[in-house]
Amino acid sequence: MTNSNFLITIIGPTAIGKTALSIALANHFKCEIISCDSRQFYKEMRIGTAVPSNEELNAATHHFIQTKSIFENYSVGDFEREAILKLDELFQKNNIQIMVGGSGLYVDAILKGFDDFPEIEPKIREEIKREFEASGLAFLQKKLKELDPIYFEKISIENPQTLQNPQRMMRFVEVCFGTGKPYSSFLNQKKNRRNFVPIVIGLEAEREIMYDRINRRVDIMLNDGLLEEAKNIHPNKHLNALQTVGYRELFDYFDKKTTLDFAVEEIKKNTRRFAKRQLTWFKRTENVAWFDYETESDTIINYLKSEIEKQCQ
């Protein structure tokens, strides 16, 4: 395995310090960074998604940050294809690269690939879309519960926000209708092969510390102009990319449904909930070395060097 490529992947909840660590590692290993934070892809959403500062972006080469527009349809499958191509290119320069992000589904897409799903006839997709437009999310939730109760139960417990995502729910239901089989029956099949060895490290903190860091980050975002940023994209609030914590709450304020103080508290509360869900997802990831968020980067670098050395023996 002496010629192996290694993808060092940093996971953990929002506001835990992943960006700073990724830059330290990229500088040490003289490599680049693949970002897999699905909220940071979009040019119009900088402050509310905690995009790395210009100083941080200049400290190491980053990819997949603010490369798309909220008006583009950009799926996790699109990201998988583009990121794998970019990694193939980067591994030609250095057999160690860094990936960082808090979007568990996107991390999994790169590390493991996706299950193969059959093509679904467009007319089935159109029919389900019409039903959704007529009856709303309740129709999709009811159908998934009927057609794939196992998967419905799984996401209700592990990833409940998915039940509120029309695109994802329509996809689940169309696969059930189009194949006559439960969506879950296509999961955990043979995955795509990867030309790298993943080494995954996680950052964590006591819950009170994590929540305090989140609350302070929201205050910083507001000071940096989050209100103005959200106001600029408010006319497009229906877009899928904008169904995001930090923006939805302010859209309610602009629509005079809440006060600003209430909206800010909701951002903090919903971001804390989001962080909790991130941790639940990541704690299921196999072979993760977890470190306290205050661990010195040198300690983590020594761990990584020993892991790479082990793999090369």
Question: Which residues are known binding-site members for substrate?
Answer: 14-19
CB 36 within 8 A of CB 7: no
CB-based contact 229:45 (threshold 8 Å): yes
Cβ atoms of 246 and 267 within 8 Å: the answer is yes
Alpha-carbon gap, residue 128 to 134, rounded angstroms: 10
Encode burial over 273-296: b for 16+ CB neighbours within 10 A, e otherwise: ebbeebbebbeebeebeebebeee
Alpha helices in 92-159 (DSSP H): 104-111, 122-135, 137-147, 149-158
Identify whether the C-beta of residue 146 lies closer than 8 Å to the C-beta of residue 178: no
Q: How many Å apart are CA 203 and CA 231, to the nearest integer?
A: 33
Q: Point out the annotated binding site for ATP.
A: 12-19
Residue positions in the annotated binding site? 12-19
Closest CA to 65 of 19, 30, 27, 6: 19
| Cα angle 278, 281, 287; round to 5 | 120
Report which of 107, 55, 294 is spatially closest to residue 98, judged by C-alpha positions.
107
At how many degrees (to 10) do helices 207-224 and 226-233 cross? 70
At how many degrees (to 10) do helices 104-111 and 260-283 cross? 30
